Amino acid sequence: ELQLVESGGGLVQPGGSLRLSCAAFGFTFDSYAMSWVRQAPGKGLEWVSSISGSGVTTYYADSVKGRFTISRDNSKNTLFLQMNSLRADDTALYYCARWGDYYDSYIEWGQGTLVTVSS
Amino acid sequence: DIQMTQSPSSVSASVGDRVTITCRASQGINTWLAWYQQKPGKAPKLLIYAASSLQSGVPSRFSGSGSGTDFTLSINSLQPEDFATYYCQQGDSFPRTFGQGTKVEIK
């Protein structure tokens, strides 16, 4: 069954770090680019970062550049987001999503993991 | 960066109505435009890709049109399960950008 399962969210103090994971099931993981998209409480969707299938190419939103690092382990079908120097405005539900090149869109989403940055 | 602007931000409609949502890109994106539906507490779901192609399993009452900078999502004969928030997203370039969302509410 096609599935993306995020984990690693939680409560962290400003300036702290957190590492999110996204386990992928049911498809050839290294054939697909993957992304993180976040949604602050009551707000819209915000793209955070993307990584190519090989892991060689990465992209970041300006709001997280220099603080977040996206990576993947294709041998374990897992996507990661290392988040450092966290701020209150990073508080959000973080989704991992699979990009479909043919569709030029996010064809599958996980259920999200909540990150709360607060003292 | 390409800015995506949706209108309206919310719309009240009744079951059976036709609803139209527009999305405007700040520069031309050909047909690299997708529409998503999000229900409360759920992840977004792809409805339309390449501006007008219906994703597998999505009811045919949903349709998309447009190219360049102006796009439309239409829902014919609104059903109770269609009350949700809808987002457009451009796939032309990075950073990927979404519209701010349109909430379809029950009148």
Cβ neighbors of B27 (< 8 A, separation 6 or more) are: B2, B69
A40 pLDDT band, cuts 50/70/90, is: very high
Query: What pLDDT score does A63 carry?
Result: 98
Which residue has tokens 């047909």? B31
Which residue has tokens 């996507």? A79
Percent of chain A with pLDDT over 90: 96
Q: What is the mean pLDDT of residues A7-18?
A: 98
A83 pLDDT band, cuts 50/70/90, is: very high
Query: What pLDDT score does B32 carry?
Result: 97
A15 pLDDT band, cuts 50/70/90, is: very high
Query: What pLDDT score does A87 carry?
Result: 98
Q: Which amino acid is at B97?
A: T
Neighboring chain A residues of B49 at a CB cutoff of 8 Å = 100, 103-105, 107
Cα–Cα distance for residue pair B99/A55, rounded to 1 Å: 28
- Best residue in B96, B98, B100, B103 for a mutation probing chain A (most A CBs within 10 Å): B96
Cα–Cα distance for residue pair A77/A111, rounded to 1 Å: 17
Taking chain B (107 residues) in consecutive chunks of 10 residues, what is each chunk's mean pLDDT? Answer: 98 97 98 98 98 98 98 97 97 97 95
B55 touches chain A (CB under 8 A): yes
CB atoms within 10 A of CB A5: 14
How do beta strands B102-106 and B10-13 pair? parallel
CB B88 within 8 A of CB B35: yes
Query: What pLDDT score does A116 carry?
Result: 98
B32 touches chain A (CB under 8 A): yes
- Best residue in A104, A108, A109 for a mutation probing chain B (most B CBs within 10 Å): A104
Cα–Cα distance for residue pair A38/B33, rounded to 1 Å: 19
Query: What pLDDT score does A67 carry?
Result: 98
A66 pLDDT band, cuts 50/70/90, is: very high
Cα–Cα distance for residue pair A94/A109, rounded to 1 Å: 10
Q: What is the mean pLDDT of residues A1-11?
A: 97
Could A104 and B32 be called an inter-chain contact, meaning their C-beta atoms sit closer than 8 Å? yes
